[in-house]
A and B are shown apart, each in its own frame.
Chain A
Amino acid sequence: MVDDFEKLREGLRAMPVPEPRSGFVDRALAQATASAVAVAPRREPRGLRAVLARPLIWGAAAAGALAASLVWFIVMAVRFDVPTEPSLQLALHESREISLVIDSERALEGATIRLYATGSIALVGYEDQAEITWMASLNQGANLLSLPVVAREAGNGSIVAEIEHEGKTRRVNVLMQVRG
């Protein structure tokens, strides 16, 4: 059979691969050998270190006395699969701060951020609003979005965060369950 994939193969092989960051090979080898006696390194969501070093924090609302906990890191470049079962559980009327890391490949001026609170979950300070929209600029790399949420009734709920810039939209859904 004639290989009808040849032209596509040429295209695949010509597909550009960006160079790694400068000094990557030296760094990677040095780090691998330096950790010889250590167990495999903890897999940190990329950008976490960048967040800690260079935090851009949007306080979506005053955290107040909320017990802040960095619950999730979201790397926007990663393609998550189909929705999972709700696995974050909150007690009724419990408040918790959820932190999302939005990792942008480049600086985005004037991005539109939309938050949707659905079901049993509300955003603290915006309990009467199902949707909040504002404009913000994202730095290249990790950007931290802190979301204080409150469980207002028993049942399932979610917070959907949507980033829109120049016609492109990325959306993530954080599923939660409130115990009655």
Chain B
Amino acid sequence: MAGSAAEDFDLLMRGHVPALYRAAYRWTGDVHQAEDLVQEALTKLFPQLAQLRQIEQIRPWATRVMYRIFVDNLRRMRRSPVSYIGDEEIDAEDPTWDPEALAEQALDRDRIAAVWPRLQEQHRVVLSLHEIEGYSLEEVAAMVEVPLGTAKSRLNRARNRLRELLTEGTKTIPEPCRSSGSLVSNERGR
């Protein structure tokens, strides 16, 4: 019985795990955390095997379960007495700096990847689900359990913030060094 349930679960979920992992990675920005998140989601899903068998669209459902865990983990971390002050990355001067190429550079996937971690978690989630994975806004709203209007405005803010971050990266020539006093005034894009 247990073996059969495990086999069924494997059969139902195996094909979705890579997609769940990719979503988790985009949310967390870290391979290990993404793996942990998927692991937790699967562990939570297995006891719900009977429901899983009835569901036509397993992936959105599993994503919603994973999202809840993600949010819970974030809340737990923010209750921690440990506070994060700054994450200042000092860019090396780019010898190939070319102002005329800035527009193209801004759209380069590597530049997006570079600013991605600076987006708020909620913005990463909504961009990941809607823009990358192609879920409709209605589906996203259901997954993250907010009204449709909230999902829309969150998506707009996420898009705008992404644009801002990319623009910031292109209009300021990186300084080779900065004064030590700048660490605390970290921009977090709140």
State in angstroms the CA–CA spacing of A11 and B39 once bound together: 28
Residue on A with the closest CB to B113?
A: A15
Contact of A175 among B22, B73, B81, B188 (CB under 8 A): B81
Main secondary structure of the interface of B (DSSP, over half): helix
**A16-B109 contact, Cβ under 8 Å, with A72-B82, A80-B84, A171-B183:** yes
Candidate in A5, A9, A15 with the most chain B CB atoms within 10 angstroms:
A15
Closest to B42 in A: A32
Chain A CB within 8 A of B21 CB: yes
State which of B45, B79, B116 has its C-beta within 8 Å of the C-beta of A84. B79
Is the pair B25, A28 in contact by a Cβ cutoff of 8 Å?
no
Are A79 and B46 interface neighbours, CB within 8 A? no
A14-B109, A47-B32, A78-B33 given as contacts; is B81 within 8 A of A88 (CB)? yes
| Chain B residues numbered 5-51 whose CB sits less than 8 Å from any CB in chain A | 5-6, 9-10, 13-14, 17-18, 21-22, 25-26, 29-36, 38-40, 42-47
Q: Smallest CB–CB gap between B184 and chain A, Å?
A: 8
Chain A residues with CB below 8 A from B88, complex form: 168-169
Give the size of the chain B interface in residues (CB under 8 angstroms).
65
Q: Which of A11, A25, A174 contacts B18 (CB 8 A)?
A: A25
Question: Chain A contacts of B109 at CB under 8 A?
Answer: 11-12, 14-16
Of residues 85 through 104 on chain B, the ones whose CB sits less than 8 Å from some CB of chain A are 85-90, 92
Q: Find out whether the CB atom of B112 lies under 8 angstroms from the CB atom of A40.
A: no
Query: Which residues does chain A contribute within 8 Å of B71, judged by CB atoms?
Result: none
> Chain A: which residue is nearest B103 at the CB level?
A7
> Are B9 and A33 neighbours in the complex by a CB distance under 8 Å?
yes
* B85 close to A36 (CB less than 8 A): no
Residues on the A chain within 8 Å of B29, using CB = 77
Q: A25-B14, A72-B82, A79-B117 are in contact. List 11 more A-B contacts (CB 8 A).
A: A12-B109, A14-B109, A20-B31, A36-B46, A77-B30, A78-B30, A78-B33, A80-B77, A105-B30, A168-B89, A169-B183
- Interfacial residues, chain A to chain B (CB-CB below 8 A): 5, 7-18, 20-21, 24-25, 28-29, 31-33, 35-36, 40-41, 43, 46-47, 72, 74-75, 77-84, 86-88, 103, 105, 160, 162, 167-176
**A/B interface sample: 25 pairs, CB < 8 A:** A8-B162, A10-B107, A11-B109, A12-B112, A12-B127, A17-B22, A17-B26, A28-B38, A32-B39, A32-B46, A33-B9, A40-B44, A41-B43, A72-B81, A75-B30, A77-B29, A77-B33, A79-B87, A79-B188, A80-B82, A168-B89, A169-B88, A169-B90, A171-B86, A171-B87
